[in-house]
């Protein structure tokens, strides 16, 4: 995604160009900074509901290391990972009506006790790192920032300035917030959750690249399903001297693979065993390459939502402050060939 627009770095959408939705990546920002020059003053505009944890951290570091002055404008919303990016600004300016959201890391782990313990360790380290970034900007202690994060704090422009997450507010009115499923957050303002419901903003799977020359999904994206004799093209194609015929054949193979993947996802999500276990079904469907039979067998042994602790519900996802996190899932690999995904999108607390 080209984020350089009229000499400004415009970060609208999801943090991280993942398999789930269109967004901007750390490489997009790095390339934009290289184009502008190391010593140039930079304007960054943010309208993002969050995204991939490590991409947010990488963008923060890239902007923080830039030699020129960095001015960040919150045009509508900087939530979760996007709020971390905003902290890289030498000056952070929020439009009237804009919002900033800061919250504590959270995740969903599928696996045994060791997997859950590993998640706790990763979450604790990430929370400490995030708190130190907020603390440096605000001048408060890291522990004070941890309390702000634990509370999932939503800030208006004036509140962000008062608490020193931003430096000043702009009299210009905020833009409309970017499309994002704000229902995944525990304390999102009612107008945001209503807007997400009204417009059906939810994770949307992107089509795979049609050519190997194009960028493949990031590591946090769902990988291509494991080989299936009924749908995968033969390993060796007949050689052809006419290059004009090669690309259509590759495109057809990609279409077949996408069709097979949609069928696999539908079989899992529509299985009777998925009822009351929608979160787990979405995990198997979108975040693994489990065959339907394996996923259904696993769901059949899991408790339904009504039997689970009601304190925290989730949309399909592994979230780090609204950010995708590499969740330890080693034990899940025992039943299938590969579970090569780093996140489940966004957990609602």
Within a domain: 177: yes
Model confidence at 123, in pLDDT bands (50, 70, 90)? confident
Within a domain: 324: no
- Tens-place pLDDT, residues 22-72: 789 999 999 999 999 999 999 999 999 998 777 888 999 999 999 999 999
Worst-scoring range by mean pLDDT, 133-147, 160-174, 207-221? 207-221
Within a domain: 270: no
Q: Give residue 344's pLDDT.
A: 29
Within a domain: 227: no
Within a domain: 243: no
- Tens-place pLDDT, residues 219-239: 333 332 333 333 333 443 434
- 291 touches 264 (CB < 8 A): yes
Within a domain: 252: no
151: containing domain: 4-198
- Tens-place pLDDT, residues 64-108: 999 999 999 999 999 999 999 999 999 999 999 999 999 987 777
Worst-scoring range by mean pLDDT, 106-115, 119-128, 248-257, 258-267? 248-257
Q: Give residue 324's pLDDT.
A: 41
In terms of average pLDDT, the best of 4-18, 24-38, 42-56, 331-345 is 24-38
Within a domain: 80: yes
Regarding predicted confidence, which is higher, 20 or 198? 198
- 315 touches 332 (CB < 8 A): no
The CATH number of the domain holding residue 163 is 3.90.226.10
Within a domain: 345: no
243 pLDDT above the threshold of 90: no
Model confidence at 244, in pLDDT bands (50, 70, 90)? very low
Q: How many distinct structural domains can be found in the chain? A: 1
Percent of the chain with pLDDT strictly greater than 90: 45
């Amino acid at each position: 995604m080209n984020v350089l627009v009229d000499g400004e770095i415009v970060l609208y959408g999801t943090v991280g160009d993942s398999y789930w939705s269109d967004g901007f990546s750390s490489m997009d920002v790095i390339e934009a900074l290289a184009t502008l020059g190391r010593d140039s003053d930079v304007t960054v505009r943010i309208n993002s509901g969050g995204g991939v944890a490590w991409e947010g951290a990488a963008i923060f570091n890239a902007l923080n290391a830039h030699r020129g002055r960095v001015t960040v404008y919150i045009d509508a919303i900087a939530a979760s990972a996007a709020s971390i990016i905003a902290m890289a600004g030498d000056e952070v300016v929020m439009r009237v009506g804009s919002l900033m959201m800061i919250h504590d890391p959270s995740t969903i782990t599928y696996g045994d006790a060791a997997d859950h313990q590993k998640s706790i360790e990763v979450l604790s380290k990430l929370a400490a790192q995030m708190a130190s970034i907020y603390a440096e900007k605000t001048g408060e202690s890291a522990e004070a920032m941890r309390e702000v994060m634990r509370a999932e704090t939503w800030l208006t422009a004036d509140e962000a300035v008062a608490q020193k997450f931003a430096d000043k507010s702009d009299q210009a009115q905020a833009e409309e917030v970017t499309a994002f499923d704000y229902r995944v957050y525990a304390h999102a303002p009612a107008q945001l959750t209503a807007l997400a419901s009204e417009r059906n903003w939810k994770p949307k799977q992107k089509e795979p690249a049609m050519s190997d020359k194009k960028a493949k999904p990031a590591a946090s994206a769902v990988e291509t399903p494991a080989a299936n004799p009924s749908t995968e093209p033969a390993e060796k194609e007949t050689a052809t001297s006419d290059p004009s015929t090669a690309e259509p054949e590759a495109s057809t193979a990609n279409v077949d693979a996408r069709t097979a993947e949609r069928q696999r996802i539908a079989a899992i999500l529509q299985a009777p065993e998925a009822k009351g276990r929608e979160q787990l079904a979405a995990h198997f469907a979108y975040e693994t390459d489990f065959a339907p039979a394996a996923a259904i067998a696993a769901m059949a042994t899991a408790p339904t939502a009504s039997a689970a602790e009601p304190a925290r519900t989730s949309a399909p996802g592994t979230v780090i402050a609204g950010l995708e996190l590499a969740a330890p899932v080693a034990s899940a690999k025992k039943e299938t060939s590969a579970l090569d995904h780093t996140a489940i999108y966004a957990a609602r607390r």
